[in-house]
Each structure stands twice: as structure tokens, then as C-alpha cells.
Structure 1
């Protein structure tokens, strides 16, 4: 077969034809005027026009459908939802910054300036939707609405130095629901009013109008146990009295003047000039395990119906977001509110001592010193000096009992056995009476010191001035100190070792050791059938320091510091009284002199006691026969 050969003529022809075509297209390109856009720009512009033209009709249709849907859902308030927009407005002063959201017209952030959390973060009482303020109401066109779902229109103005924010949920320019906030300089209290001018024909008066304020408390302190369990409470004032609601409880109360959602050192309060009636308050503990780190402490809720005046809402209220500081809340700016009672100074005589003695002394010392550890030490010295006469009285009674103790021992030997118990008791009281010795004279000084102990037990852990103030190794006197972190948790003790409770426990041990002999003198000789108190005292010497070591390990280091210094001073005062003040020879001579004096006429109370004892003795004798 004949092979095909390469055709050079055809190849050359194709090359020439291709060259001609390239020359033709290169020399005949359309000219582009300078004003013209590029092809890419033209394509994009045309596409945008096409899209605009394409979307114009559907957007108009969607808006119309949206307006119809909102009108069906919201009725007279539909226009506020249509015109409303997302956004926030802030009002603030030197102490407080509040951020109010257009949606709901409510506070969504409450920053307490000049304070930090235990981990050095800005201290917010409200943030990240942990609070909700809502008014639920019905309309005359049979709709049920919630303000938290609706958009308010903000208007920011100034009233002198005050900042004013008006949030209006409008039906028209003359018909609206208004939240009005006004913040003054240098004040934690914010005026807050709720008004509904022109809405008498819009709000359905046959439906209840309910206010609902809920807040979930953020953890702000190092010890979740003390913050949540001991010092976070739902306080309220009703019928002129301040009370608190225990966690896990719900109550319905009337004539409520204010509610306070307290979290140890800080509080969120709502006050009203028109008392709430039939208000339901609830406190819920959110901490399931105190050993686990947590963000929240308690959930507080207030649900209360609002009343209409001439068909409209007209409530003047106040918000308070700030510290639960007794010095602040008892000042003239807040005195008429009774908010100082949420500072938790204790009830009865304990609160009285804190208000009238310990806070004035503490504030006086604070004016001279800036180191709060030294203030506590000086305050302890002042308290112990004031209490020293009671220690002296107790020691004198102990010395007197020591002198007559041999006589009481002889009396036990003279009248042995249970059958002589009444006679022995009568003779014992006669000896004490002749010598001018009273068992109560030794007990009363110790009892009088107990209110001081319990008052200070409240004073130090709740004193805001001590919060995040350091002393020696303790970074925060309002919380426990840590010298060693344990890798495990000890029941009733914790996962750390605090040094101040150890020092206080050691001081208590030596104090009780020294006090043992004094207590032994105060006791009458052990009688048959009666427990031996001296043995119990021996157990108490060891039990009390151990109990304090465990109990105070999670408490404020300022409290342990006080008890440590207090016991050291008490030991010193006891040594001075024992070695330099009391003269047992003089006491013995005085007792002998008392015995020689004619016995005073018995009081009616003493006569009744003697008669009762005599009758009991006769009854005992009859039973024996």
C-alpha cells in the first residue's frame, strides 16, 4: 500500500491563514471612550439593576405582609414594632452605669464602678441577660402583650446635673407607655417611673396588669459558701417592717414598700411609693454543690399586680444598684428607706451593739489609719479594755470561791449521800451568803461578754470596708486567707489551710488552759450524784480550739484576726489581774469580816426559795421513813 506523505503546502497555507486572522482582529478592535466603564463594571451594574428591579416587588410585598402580621399581633402597638430598632442607651454617674435596651425598655447592664469581683473583673450586677423586667397587660382589642418583647423609643435629656432617659412604647405621640430613668450625680439611687398617658382606652382594665422582675445573682466573692449560704438573702419591707425570705421559699405579701435582691456585699433593689399588694416573692438557691465553682448564686423573683389610676398607670419607683454598706445605707441620702437593715448586723442586742458601738469605733479609727489590719487590732484593744472590768469581776469571784472552798468540802463530808442533798445545798448557800459570795457573780461577767462575741461575728464578715483589703499574708480581710492549697477537700474544713484560724485556735487553747484553774475555783466541790465539771472542762480545753479551727477556716480572716488578738489580750489582762491586782489575803480578811456581820433580812424571793427547799427536804425525809 502506498504510504501518505507529509503535505508541506497545506501546512504552510494554514499558518498563513492563521496569521491573516490575527492581523484582522488586532487592527479592527472597537475603540473605548474614556468616560465608559469597564465590561466588569457594566456587568455588575446591570446585575444590580436587575436584582433591584427583581426584588422591588417582593420587598414591598414582604413589608406589607409584615405590617399586617404585626397589626394582627400587637394591635395599637404595632407601629412601635414596625418603627422600632435594636440599640441601647447608657446613663451613668461617678458610681454607677446603667445600660437600657430599646427592646423592653429595661436595664440590661448595671455596672457598679469602683469595685471589682474576687477575680479582678468589673463588677456587674446585671449583664448577659441575667435579669428581666416586664409588664404584662391586656388591650381592649383582646390582645395580651409583654413589654419585654416590644421596642421602646429612647430620648436622652438632662435635668440640671441629672441624666434623664425616657423610653416610650408609643401608640401615638400622645398615647404611650413610658419608663423614665433619672440618675443623679454621686448616688446609687435611680428615679424610675412607669406612666401610661392616653392609654385608658387601649389598656383593658378587666385584665390584670402584672409586673415581673427576675434576677439571677452573679457570684462576686471568693467563698461561694459564705456569699451564697450565709449572706445572700431576699429582703423586703412590708407594713413598715423589714424581713427576709429563706432560699427555696415563696410567699404572698401585701403593702410591699421595697424588695432587695442581696448578694453579700452588693444588692439590687426596687422601691415603690405606691406599695405593691398581693405580691408573690420567690428565692431559689442555684448552688447545688458548694465544692464546685459556680457562676450564679440565687434566683430572685417578684410578681405583683399593678393598679390603674383613672385607667392609667402612674407609679413612682426607684432602682438601687450598689453596695450593701451600713455606713452608706444609714446616711441621710437613704435613711428614710430602712435599707440599712439589709446590711445584716444581727438582730436584737447584737445589731444594737454593732450600730451604736462597733461601727462608731471602727469609723473613728478609720479616720486616722489606712491599714485595716491595724484598725482591727486597735479596735480589739479598745473592746478588751472596755470589757476588762468584767474579767476583773470574774477573777474576784473566783478568788472568793477559792477562799471558802475548804468549808464547802467539809460540808460535803458532814452531809454525805443523796438523802442529805437538800440540807447540803441549804448549808452551801448559807456559807456563800455569809461570805458575800455569789455563784452568779462569776457567771454574769461571762454571759455579758457573749453578746459582744456574737455581734462581732456579724460585724467583720459583712463590713464592706474590709473587702479586698490586705493585711500580712491575707489578701482580703473579708474572706479567708490561704497559706496552703490542699489537693483534696476535708469535710467541714475545706480544701485549703488558713493561718489566722490556726493562730486564734492556739490562743484559745492557752486561754482556756489558764482559765481552767479559775473555773475550778468557781465550782463548788463535786457532790454525790452530780457530774464532775472539772472533767468536762478538760475536754473543752481541747474541743473548743479544734472546733474553732474547723469552723473559722472558711470565714473572714478579719474575724479570726480579731479573736486571735482578743485572746492574747485576755491572757495578758488575766495575768496582770492575778499577779498585780488581786490580793487573796485581803479577800480572805474581807470574807471573815462579812461572816461576823449580822445576816441581812431575807428578801421575799430568798424566803420562797428557802421555803421550797425546806418542803422538799421534809418530803424527802417522809419518803425515807
Structure 2
């Protein structure tokens, strides 16, 4: 067979292998779905049997005579500070929910399996201890319970105070006391950090979990649980770390952070998993079977517990339940601001975040803060933009000479390139000068995008017709498509900006057509962006048009003049006049002319 035949056969074999692989995977999925349905039926029948047994007179008499410890009545208590209300429960001995009022209007841990701060003996288990509310006040609550191993567990939740205090922060002290008669040692104690789930289905890609090990913070988002091409989807994440400082779960705008407070780091384990919710998050998706929403659970391990009879140990923690705001997390310390995950241009993002907050303090509006931030960035880039515009205009003046070279050396591309570079050098034009502002603006755009996409400060903030700066400014629908005015303004101003910007001489008609399609491309990829980002891009386009007009009116047009050539360097001195060859430094005397003389004979 020839080469093409071998290629066809190889591709067929590969496709057959891929097809067989997916047939096997589909069969496994069908078997798993059948097993799941069978388990649900068995569980349903067991629940019905248990309910029937519980309602029988004999069962009622037994329950009344000897109530189980885990069936103690639930005791609740609330701690309120500022706009946050922490709802505590004796079932699990922790914070069942955190209700954020004000502009947030959201409840955290609403899909939690148990309260935040529940003490587990297995990472994926539950806290089975029956707690009692032994003390409570407006600022604290204490729960006590004894495990089946004879360990007395005491948890005290206290509102934080002081310079590093915050209304979203709660102190937790956990004391374990061995009331038994034997040594108790275990590495399997976990504090439940709660469950995070997106507010809207479209924001689910931002959900995930994270951890900090000795100052190194890392994360996994929802795509961690996606199935690989040649691997199954993971069901959980579990790892041990030498200096685990905090762990947590997060959504697009909010986070749970469980931080260990101690003078020395300690090794501990971290666990996280994902659960499918019984009902979709958005009420509009209630009847849709193709929509799946998830909750992300996490638990932080305690350092090794080793207790002699009668001994006790106390560990201190802080629980943060609130918005992802850099300034707030930086103020409460313990490296919690690292959990913002701004990406490669983190320094740029932090600086722009601080400037934007300063602009908000001045204007009192987050929409105006974005506009003022845009103008501030453009003013900083004005000198570079002006130089770039002048360079592009000078390149435009070189257009006729460039075409002459292209015609003259059309059969010799290498020589043509050399002549073009010589032309740039003769007239002092830097061909990369027009691209410099784009290179500088790229990290600024990416850094600001990272800030605006997850800025909880912008959530729920209105501006002009925009109801929420953290979401698309949809004003209605037309033929099934959303009408978003800000991205449309962005596209129109981008076209106007390109019309006013001088094009380099090397741009042909095909490249010009490609450039004209760029606004459509940007409009397509950014149509559903947050309104704050579209507002930034539209403002910078309008300011760039204004900047171009000002420069055209007040800056002289460039002239095409050759750069004065530098005087040629003097040739290197001959060896006779070179001090390296003449140690004395003085020039040697020239030899007399006359040719070689015959040798003298005799003495």
C-alpha cells in the first residue's frame, strides 16, 4: 500500500478504538444509572417501613421510654453583628447558616449537609455527637457533647473584635478532653467548612475549593470533576499537607474560609467533594432535566490528637463567611487575600482594585468608579499612545517607498525584507512602536477583567439602565436573543476608533478586512460579559476617540525625513601604531625603502 492508504487505515483503526472506548463507557453509565435507581427504590422502601414502624404503638412506647442521645431536641441560637446573622444549631454544634443582608441578600451554607464547624471522625462522614447549648450570649455560644469514645467536645463560637475583626468573621475554639481510661490517638478529626453552591446556574464555573499550605495557596474549580478523555471523573479530593493554614469553598462572589490560628504550623489533611443537588438552583430550570447544579463540600483536618486519660487539647480557628473582597480579606490578615486568585497579573489586579475602590470613595457610585478608573488608566498611557500614533503616521508616509521596494524585489523576498529594514533605519521608524500600547494594555485588560468578574462589591449595584454591574445589562429580547446595550456600544465605538486610527503602510486590503471583523469578534466573545467590563471597554474606546481628535488638532503632523547618519568610526590603527603591539606606546620608525640588501660575507 502507498502512504495515503496507510494513513487511511491508521485513522480507521484509531476511530474504531475511540468508538469501542465510548461504547464501554456508555455501558458503564447505564449500569451505574440502573444501580442508582435500584438503590433509591430500596432506600424509599426502607424509609416507608421505618415510618410505619415509628408510627406503631410499640415503637412509640419504646421511644418514650428510652430516647436516644442523638434525638435530643434541637437548640438554636443566633449571633448578629452588622448586616450578618449567624444561625447556630446544637445538631452538629455549629453555624447552620449565615444570612447576609444589606446589598448582598444571600444565605450561605444553605445546601450544607450539617453546620459549619461540625466535628467529623471521617472526612465524608457526619458529626454524630449529641450537643447541648451550655452557654449563650449576644456575642458567643458554647456547645458540649461526648463522643462514643469518651471524648468530651467543647465548641465556643465568639464574634471577633479588634483591628482584625469583621462582621463576617467568627472565632471558634475546639477543646477535646479524654474522659476515658485509655490513651486516645487519632489523625482522623475533621472540621466541616460548609457547602458552597452558585447563586445562578450560569455562575457554576466559578465554584470550587482551595487550600493554603505554608503560604502557598491553590485551588480547583468545577472543571476538576469533569471527565477526562482517557480517565474517569474524580469523585473527591483528599490530600495531606505539612503546614495547612486554611481551607475553604467558594463561588463567584462568596467564600467560606476555615483558618487555623496558631503560633506554629502543623500537618493536617484536606478533603473536598461535589454533590448533585436535588433541585436546580434557578427556579426557571425547575422542570428541566438537562440542568444539573452542584454543591461543593470541604473539611479541614485537625492536627494529630494524642490524649492520655484526663488530658485535653484546644485548637483555635476562625470562620469567614462573606464576600470575596480583596480589601476586606487583606485587612483581616492570615493570608486570606491570597484566596482571590487573580491569576498571572495579580499585581496589576490588586493595584486596579485599590484604585477603583478609591474612585468609589470619591464618587459614591461603582459605575462612576469604573469610568474614572478607565480615564485614569488612559491618562497614564497617553504619552505612549501619542508616540505610537506618531510612529504609525510616519509608517503611513513610507507607504509609496514600501510599494516601490515590494515591486522591485517581488521575486526576492529576502532582499526585499533587508531593504525594508534599511528603509526603517534610514528614516528612524520603529515598526514595533505602534504595537507597544497594545502590549501594555493587554495585562491591564486581563488584570481588570479578573477584578470585575469576581468583584462582590459590584454585585447588585445599579448604574443608569444597568440593574447589576456584575451581570450582563440585558434589557429585553428580540427574536430570542438578549438585547445588551453596553456591548453594542462597545462594538460601535471600536469601529469608530479603528476608522480614526492610522494604519501601517504594510497593511493590505485583505488585512484591512480582517481588522474590520475584529469588532464583531470582540462583540461576540464579550456580549454576555459583566456590565462593568463592557462599561470599561466602551469608555476607553470613547476616550481613545477623544484622544485621537485632540492629538490631530494640537499636535503637528510628522514629516518624512532621513535620520542624520552618524560619523563612521576611525579604522583600527596598524599593529605598528597599536600600543598593544608597541609596549612603549610611541610609533615605530619607518624602515628605509630600498629593498633587501645582500648579506655581508666574511668577518
Q: TM-score, length-normalised on structure 1? A: 0.69
Aligned to 2:532: 558
Q: Distance in 2 between matches of 1:600 and 1:324?
A: 63
Are positions 1:392 and 2:391 aligned together? no
Cα displacement string for residues 455-504 of structure 1 (whole angstroms, at most 9, x for unaligned residues): 2212223223322111111111111112213574xxxxxx5221111111
Q: In the alignment, which of 350, 353, 358 is matched to residue 355 of structure 1?
A: 350
The residue that corresponds to 2:54 in the other structure is none
- The counterpart of 2:395, out of the listed 401, 404, 411, is 401
Task: Give the equivalent residue in structure 2 for 1:519.
Answer: 503
How many angstroms apart in 1 are the aligned matches of 2:214 and 2:383? 43
- Look up the match of 1:326: 326
Determine helix, strand or coil for the equivalent of 1:353: helix
Once the two structures are superposed, what CA deviation does each residue of 1:562-600 show, in whole Å capped at 9, x if it has no partner?
Answer: 11111011112122223431422xx32xx32x1444478
Q: Specify every segment of 5 or more residues in structure 1 that has no aligned partner in the other structure, as ranges.
A: 1-57, 71-79, 118-122, 139-144, 489-494, 524-531, 602-625
| Contact 2:193 2:256 (C-alpha < 8 Å) held by counterparts | no
The DSSP-based 3-state class of the residue aligned with 1:554 is coil
Q: Secondary structure at the match of 1:156?
A: strand
Larger radius of gyration: 1
Output one character per residue of 1:82-140: Cα deviation in whole Å (capped at 9) or x when no partner.
8x4322122222242222222221221211232444xxxxx2102365545543449xx
Partner of residue 315, structure 2 = 315
Q: Any idea what SS the aligned residue of 1:416 has?
A: coil
CA distance in 1, matches of 2:198, 2:374: 31
3-state SS of 2:219 partner: strand
Corresponding residue number in structure 2 for 1:527:
none
* Cross-structure match for 1:509: 495
CA contact (8 A) 2:248 2:298 kept: no
Q: 2:432 matched to which residue of 1?
A: 440
Contact between 1:484 and 1:497, CA under 8 Å: does it hold in 2?
yes
- Give, in whole Å, the separation in 2 of the partners of 1:414 and 1:496: 53
Q: Where does residue 156 of structure 1 map in the other structure? A: 135
Q: Report the counterpart of residue 592 of structure 2 in structure 1.
A: none
Structure 2 unmatched ranges of 5 or more = 1-57, 226-233, 571-603
Pick one of 110, 124, 131 that aligns with 2:107: 124
Answering whether residue 465 of structure 2 is matched by residue 478 of structure 1, we say no
Q: Once the 2 structures are TM-superposed, how far is the Cα of residue 147 of structure 1 from its aligned partner?
A: 6.6
Any conservation in 2 of the 1:497–1:553 contact (CA below 8 Å)? no
Distance (Å, rounded) in 2 between the aligned partners of 1:275 and 1:127: 31
What number of residue pairs does the alignment pair up? 482
C-alpha separation between the residues in 1 aligned to 2:182 and 2:568?
89
**Structure 1 counterpart of 2:374:** 380
Give how far 1:318 is off.
Answer: 1.3
Is 2:506 aligned against 1:498?
Answer: no
Query: In the alignment, does 2:332 pair up with 1:339?
Result: no
> How well do the aligned residues superpose, as a CA RMSD in angstroms?
3.5
Residues 377-398 of structure 1, C-alpha deviation per residue, up to 9 Å, x if partnerless? 2222222111111221111111
Over 3 Å counting, the alpha-carbon distance change for 1:99 and 1:600 in structure 2 is: farther
Specify which structure has the higher proportion of helix.
1
Deviation track 1:427-470 (CA, whole Å, cap 9, x = no partner) reads 22222112211112222232112111212212223223322111
- 1:187 and 2:162 equivalent? no
Residue 192 (structure 1) shift:
0.9
Give CA-to-partner distance per residue, 1:306-350, whole Å, 9 cap, x none: 51143445321111111111121122xx12x22112234x223x2
